[in-house]
Chains A and B, each alone.
Chain A
Amino acid sequence: MAIQTDAVRFPLEECHVARMVISATEAVAASATAIMAARAATAPCSMTLIAASSDNDKLTITFPAEQADEAVGVLTVSLVAAADNVLAVTASNTTGLITISLANSTASNNTAAKITTALNAVTPAGGEAGLVKGIDVSKVVCAAVGSWDSAAVAPKATGQSGVAFAGGAGETVTPDVDVLFAQPPCPRTIVATPGGTGGDIGAVSVIVYGTNINDEPISESLPAFAVNNTGAKTGVKAFKTITSVFLPSHDGTGATVSLGYSDSLGLPFMFSKKPYLRITQDGAVKAAPTTFTVDADEIEKNIIDPTDALDGTELCFYFLLPEA
């Protein structure tokens, strides 16, 4: 319906006031742990070799978390003693076998750091440096356990041939099996916070599965964590419910991840552009929101983050909307 003005050739669009109420229960404060308390990361993709000197003298080879479990079932590693006192690493693109030949008399030639350098640059016959059977090994890290760096000059007699990689697959948690799991109080964006051993935090993304405000299934890969950094990452979609969450493996099992929700609230509109909006919190008119994101195709990306933090008091959004 148009509204007549004093300019007879210039009617105005009529707008209607729409009010969206976020109840006090729904407007509870943001929380980094309300959905899931800190949970230890699963083991990264790695494998362990043992020196002849002692069962405690070990070398662990670990892929960065972002490579997940891609080496599992593809690459294997054999530890042998070289015929001379020179460390060598070779690989086969055909079999995926990486062979580490330890300098046969000087352990300091075989430190984890030196093996890492050699392995990162290994060039299979006819292949590219740092790429074995299609898998990037340029970022794998070797770590010494026990007296490896000062004692390893030969492999343990048994079990050091064709050792496979394992781990790195991450895990999926669901409300049904994890008692710590709770749902957002209303459609909110999801926050994942890494913690635990800082050096174990990998550059990986939590994946959230659930439903939007319209009860439609949605999913989102949250922004990847920064390596060795406990900075939280927040998604851009508002989840009404969470049906499962994929928690990737990190660079070590000392890392943890907790899940919560932010102050950003999901809207029941797919706006092509921002409409007029007023917000009241506990009855008081507030300033323009910190974030007001609109999306014409994905309803879950229409979100508002009020300027003032949610505090368990009622929120009202007032939109002025023209007739469709």
Chain B
Amino acid sequence: MSYKAVGLYNTGVVNEPAFLGRIGRQTLTEAQAVALDTNGILETTALPAAAADYATFAHPMPYARTVTAVCSGTQTGNMVITGTNIDDVVITETIALTSDTPVESTKAFKTVTNIRLPIKVASETIIVGWGDKIGIPFMLATAAKDRPMVEATLDGVIETTAPTLTADADELEKNLIDLNSNLNGKEVCIYYWL
């Protein structure tokens, strides 16, 4: 991740100054912090007779969030999601469906522009929506010790249990934060102690 310290504080030990830190805030409005929605993107849709693209969706993504999907029956084909990340860069992710067990993307999509669904096995259907994990604007170091302290508030209250961070030093969209509380349409603020 990239940020810069802007100075040093003198301490009681003249040759051991403390870094002057900065605090950045990422805010999700109530609309952006809406609860997860399992069919917010694609409502019940029959898997096609041949792999096909879908570009008309029930709702746009509320924010850079993970994408979820679940089928009604046996289906282990690949679903391919195309969209943009929090930095408006085009990204794609291929997700292997696991029948009626929900799956979730490892990337946070700010927008979804296309979903390619696999050929049907029988007459199964699929729903696609968004999850609780939020994309963040930093590529965090893999080692936790090299990351900034991160805290979050939900409706103004600091999360007692720290949020879970997923880090990736190369792909911005794989850097995620998952609050211990479920998102519920109340404002979320994420504080980075840099």
Contact = CB atoms under 8 A, between A and B. Distances in A.
B23 A17 contact: yes
A4 B23 CA distance: 12
Interface stretch (A63-71, A172-180, A203-211, A272-280): A272-280
A9 B24 contact: no
A14 interface: yes
B139 A322 contact: no
A297 to B, nearest CB: 18
Interface residues of A, number: 26
Contact of B138 (A5, A16, A277): A5
Contact of B23 (A7, A14, A278): A14
Interface residues of B, number: 29
B15 interface: no
Contact of B158 (A6, A10, A13, A288): A288
Contacts of A17: 23
A14 B25 CA distance: 6
A320 B85 CA distance: 28
A274 B157 contact: yes
B191 interface: yes
A294 B156 CA distance: 10
A125 interface: no
* Main SS at interface, chain B: loop
B86 A10 contact: yes
Nearest to A287: B160
A274 B158 CA distance: 10
B25 A322 contact: yes
Contacts of A288: 157-158, 160
Given A6-B1, A7-B172, A14 B156 contact: no
A279 to B, nearest CB: 10
Given A277-B158, A288-B160, A9 B27 contact: no
Contacts of A13: 24-27
Interface in A7-25: 7-10, 12-17
Interface string B17-36: 00000111111000000000
Contact of A4 (B3, B26, B157, B187): B3
Given A6-B138, A275-B156, A292-B156, A15 B87 contact: no
Contacts of B3: 3-5
A292 B151 CA distance: 19
B88 interface: yes
B2 A12 contact: no
Contacts of A292: 156
B194 interface: yes
A288 B157 CA distance: 7
A48 B137 CA distance: 79
B68 interface: no
Nearest to B21: A17
Contacts of B25: 12-15, 320, 322
A14 B158 CA distance: 18
A320 B191 contact: yes
Given A12-B25, A14-B24, A15-B23, A4 B2 contact: yes
A8 B87 contact: yes
A220 B162 CA distance: 40
Contacts of B153: 274, 276
B43 interface: no
A273 B138 CA distance: 26
B192 interface: yes
A12 B87 CA distance: 13
A294 B157 CA distance: 13
B158 A276 contact: yes
B151 A276 contact: yes
B87 A7 contact: yes
Nearest to A277: B158
10 contacts: A4-B3, A5-B2, A5-B138, A6-B137, A6-B138, A7-B137, A8-B87, A12-B26, A274-B153, A320-B25
Interface of A: 3-10, 12-17, 273-278, 287-288, 292, 294, 320, 322
Interface of B: 1-3, 22-27, 85-88, 137-139, 151, 153, 155-158, 160, 172, 187, 189, 191-192, 194
